[in-house]
Amino acid sequence: MTERVIHLKSFFEEARAGRLTGIRCGRCGELAIPPKEYCATCQQRDWQRVPLGGAGTIVSYTVIRVAPRGRGGEVPYAVAVVRLDEGVSLLGRIVDIPFETLKAGLPVRFRPVQIETQTVIGFGPA
Amino acid sequence: MRRVAVIGAGVTKFGKHDRTSAELFAAAAADAITDAGIAPSAVQALYFGNVTGGETERQLHMGPLAATLLGLPTVPTTRFENACATSHAAFRHAVMEIASGVSDVVLVGGAERVLNVPTESATEFFAYCSDASIEQPAGLTFPGVFALIARAHMDKYGTTEEQMAHVAVKNHRHGVLNPKAQFQKEISLETVLKSAYVADPLKLFDCCPFTDGGAALVLASEDVARRHRRPIWVLGTHAATDTMFVHEKRDLSRVTATERAAQGAYRQAGKTPTDVDVVELHDCFTIAEIVATEGLGFFEPGTGGLAAEKGWTSLGGKLPVNPSGGLKAKGHPIGATGAAQIAEIVTQLRGEAGPRQVGGARTGLTHTLGGNTATVLVSLFGRD
């Protein structure tokens, strides 16, 4: 296969509908988000589209209190790197989890977050 | 490949300026040319670095503008943008232009001006150096990126907020000795620890400031440099790149691009970490200095915090790190930073750093990190 099975646009369209999608290398099995042309592990170009369950655990997190222009109304908010159960990681906004309970290893689950017209990757309670 | 030397360096005062980025660079460049003792007409190319000029000054195509305001409007110019590693990347390419024999004298450096816009705008523009599909929409900021790294380092090694605070206190102490520094004021451990969180666990005084400033270097081939009274030799310069996505980093407690850039530069120079006498490294946040001292091979993984706490990286310590005050106290005009770090090492190796001089320094290293740890350059320098 020489063409990508998913692009950023369709990745976010799927995410907006609550479906998290990755790609798996048909040669070495590497999972990746977001889509790319070559597998960073084996340099092959043989991708398969893979639906992801959305369950994972926090790898690292931070509570952001100084935001970029136009985002000041959102602070404080937490952002985390989450390792999904399938073995691939993703960064997203933490929603509906008290800051003081955040820690590495905490189980979370993907959910799309709509901020104005933008779909943002989010993670809520497992 | 031909040997390359730095024969001139110029740096503006760092802080708030009412001059444009191109003007700031031109001022630093004129100082570097004077320092080199060459005729301005000897410059054969300009490699110029700037990051946010399109946003903060509505000015692109800044290379020719900088050359024009310097008074050398016909010198061929190229603009570089590699986030906070911009002018170190420009430096590496300038070295290659001379090493390859294309030119004998090249001017390189950069400038940045951001204090003319509100902090929230500067925060937004800097965030453009992270990914715009996943990371910016999630609200990730640069303090946020390094907060994720800090948390991972704390979880893995037990690094503490107090150890991070020691980096800030040390670099401010050094900055007092640098008349070009944005902050020439000591701060206490308590001041750092009681400052407000910007992105937990990083507090305001763990972060470097927004800064205006320019820096420039004159590079020359060995033939030209030998006629110069004090060449500082480029022993090695290496660039490394890593994935742009924070979530794809294999281990958030490490910056693997630093490790790869360092290995390449050491190999090129025929040096090891124990040969290094003085270091200017990328302390955009206190945790960044701790992780860099590990990645550059000075301290074992997980012991960078201890090194800061024990004063090993202070002037007078076993390996002085950031005698200029670093990005933390000297300031961080992102397009100028890499060149400014090299200017400090040149000053140190010439033995002209005054009260912040590292005694007997013969070999120096600079390390500059761009964006969300996706770009790193490391260079090594030596004197005759």
DSSP single-letter state for residue B258:
H
Q: How far is CA B370 from CA A109, B150, B233, B236, in A?
A: 32, 17, 24, 19
Domain B130-207+236-383, classified CATH 3.40.47.10, yes or no = yes
Taking contacts as CB-CB distances below 8 angstroms, the residues of chain B near A14 are none
pLDDT of residue A4: 56
pLDDT, tens only, B68-87: 999 999 999 999 999 999 99
CB within 8 Å: B246 and A91: yes
Q: What is the distance between the alpha carbons of residues B312 and B304, in angstroms, rounded to a whole number?
A: 10
B316: CB partners within 8 A, 6+ apart: none
pLDDT, tens only, B135-166: 999 999 999 999 999 999 999 999 999 999 99
Tell how strand A118-125 and strand A89-94 pair up.
Answer: parallel
Taking contacts as CB-CB distances below 8 angstroms, the residues of chain A near B138 are 79, 91-93, 120-121
CB within 8 Å: A104 and B155: yes
Partners of residue A77 on adjacent β-strands:
A64
Nearest to B22 by CA among B72, B85, B91: B72
pTM for the full predicted model: 0.97
Backbone angles phi, psi at B349, to 5 degrees: -75, -25
Query: At B376, which amino acid appears?
Result: V
Domain ranges (residues) in chain B: 4-117+211-232, 130-207+236-383
B207 catalytic, yes or no? no
Whether the predicted interface score ipTM is above 0.90: yes
Residue A126 has pLDDT above 70, yes or no: yes
Q: How far is A81 from chain B (nearest CA, A)?
A: 6
pLDDT, tens only, B246-271: 999 999 999 999 999 999 999 999 99
B129 catalytic, yes or no? no
pLDDT, tens only, A13-72: 999 999 999 999 999 999 999 988 999 999 999 999 999 999 999 999 999 999 988 888
pLDDT, tens only, B288-340: 999 999 999 999 999 999 999 999 999 999 999 999 999 999 999 999 999 99
| Total number of residues shown for chain A | 126
Place A5 in a pLDDT band, splitting at 50, 70 and 90: low
**B residues 122-161 lying closer than 8 A (beta carbon) to A:** 123-124, 127, 133-141, 143-144, 147-149, 151-152, 155
| Chain A residues within 8 angstroms (CB to CB) of chain B | 8, 12, 33-34, 40, 59-72, 74, 77, 79-82, 89-93, 99, 104, 115, 118-121
SS3 B162: helix
Give the class (CATH, top level) of B4-117+211-232.
alpha beta
Alpha helices (H) in chain B, listed in sequence order: 21-36, 53-56, 62-70, 86-99, 119-127, 135-138, 142-157, 161-175, 189-194, 222-226, 256-269, 286-295, 304-310, 326-329, 337-350
Question: How many percent of chain B have pLDDT more than 90?
Answer: 98
Taking contacts as CB-CB distances below 8 angstroms, the residues of chain B near A12 are 133
CB within 8 Å: B252 and A59: yes
